[in-house]
Homo-oligomer: A and B are copies of this chain.
Amino acid sequence: MHLAAFVTAGPGRPGGWRYPDSVPGWLGAEYYQNIARTLEDGRFDLAFFADILSVPDRFGSSTDSQLRNGALGSLRLDPLHVLTSMGAVTKHLGLAATVSTTYAQPFTVARSFATLDHLTAGRAAWNVVTSFQESEARNFNRDEQFPREKRYERADEFLEVAGKLWDSWEDDALVLDAQAPLFAEPSKVHAIDHKGEWFTVQGPLNVPRPPQGYPVVIQAGASAKGKDFAARWSDVIFCSHASLESAQDFYREIKERAAAHGRDPRQVKILPSIAPVVGPTTEVARQTADLLFDLVPPLGGLSTLAYHLDVDLSTFPLDERLPDVEVPGVEGHYREVREITEREGLTLRELGKQYGGRVEGGFVGTGADVADGLEQWFTEGACDGFMVQAPYQPGGFEDFTRQVVPELQKRGLFRTEYEGATLRENLGLHRSEAGEWSNRAPKQPSAAK
């Protein structure tokens, strides 16, 4: 079983920031370094940071409700720097940053991850997103977003170019022979001369090939286009499900898609997101879950949901049910929300509270209770492990590490020591040979601009 931690560099789950145990040190490096140490003690595979390139303003076309209520994404430090700080105090923990392909350039991003991978001796991972908020487009010179289709076309080419740049230094190009002198062997460092629809990049990169070959790639696309992209490129897939059944369906579908892309399905790890609440007794855990639920400002939950769905929910009556809507944002979250609304007959206000306070996966209880649930999902073909959210930060990670991890270890479901030197090794993924990604890239309709 693999475990990733969903850490937020800012307020996490709506209401979590109001929990008494939540230390308001989010802006300093020490806060993240302490979480990193906790996660490494718990033998987590990696720490993961989500990201967004704006303060979301979908609810009421304004950032007001978002900021007042501390909804998810109200502030976020640049995840790459936070991870570098965490890498400085750990030796094994993988470090996963979300970076968008829509508002960055491949040379910059390839270099950034190559640097992180070198500095941490092979622990870098990249959550590839295409961004889906208009407010992000408006911070990058555009009135509106590219349509989804275009964003994924750009993402495919972006990854192709990044792969070429990581391959541009052969593994043994750096010689460092002081006598000769021969610093690097010029015949092993190559221009890439990429000319595509979106990018023209000469190369080579000015950083030698990363220790892992390529950083580990994570993706969470939920549309058909997004799932296809994920099956082509991802080592790890991150998802969100309201039930065991829907997780099982998704698991089967993605493994089939990966095989259809000519990949070994075992080389694609699927980690659903869970938000367990653990306590010394089932009763204490339930009370904590209730307290956390009480702390969610309904408009905080709705602002977060408005951002996730990319739908202005302020235009619907708060005391009625959310009608069917077109969702340009994350379809997976919408499916979840429809399921909850129908099942529990919720008004929009109640849905806001529920969405902000929901315990994904429904795991509440003692370490053994939660381990039972995880064991079931894992052994019944719903996943290869989990992306663990802390209901409150940093305490939630300490509770999970102290109470759930030992249970999983006792049952032989989870490692007691790190297996490998790099993140790829710990995840059971092979090191990528040069050229692997160029072969994965979809053939481009037109090679020249």
Contact = CB atoms under 8 A, between A and B. Distances in A.
Contact of A111 (B78, B178, B208): B78
Given A27-B118, A207-B77, A138 B181 contact: no
A423 interface: no
Contacts of A75: 174, 184, 206-208
Interface in A94-113: 103-105, 107-108, 111-112
A422 interface: no
B67 A199 contact: no
A107 B53 contact: yes
A370 B56 CA distance: 55
Contacts of A64: 186
Contacts of A17: 176, 178, 183
Counting every copy of the chain, the complex holds 2
Contacts of A77: 115, 118-119, 207
A53 B29 CA distance: 28
Nearest to A100: B108
Contacts of A81: 80-81, 84, 112, 115-116, 119
Contacts of A428: none
Contacts of A379: none
B33 A88 contact: yes
A63 interface: yes
A55 interface: yes
A189 B63 contact: yes
Contacts of A200: 138, 141-142
A140 B27 contact: no
Interface in A22-46: 24, 27-29, 32-33
Given A68-B183, A88-B89, A141-B201, A27 B208 contact: yes
A-B CB proximity, top 8 nearest? A70-B183, A88-B88, A138-B202, A84-B84, A78-B115, A64-B186, A18-B178, A67-B184
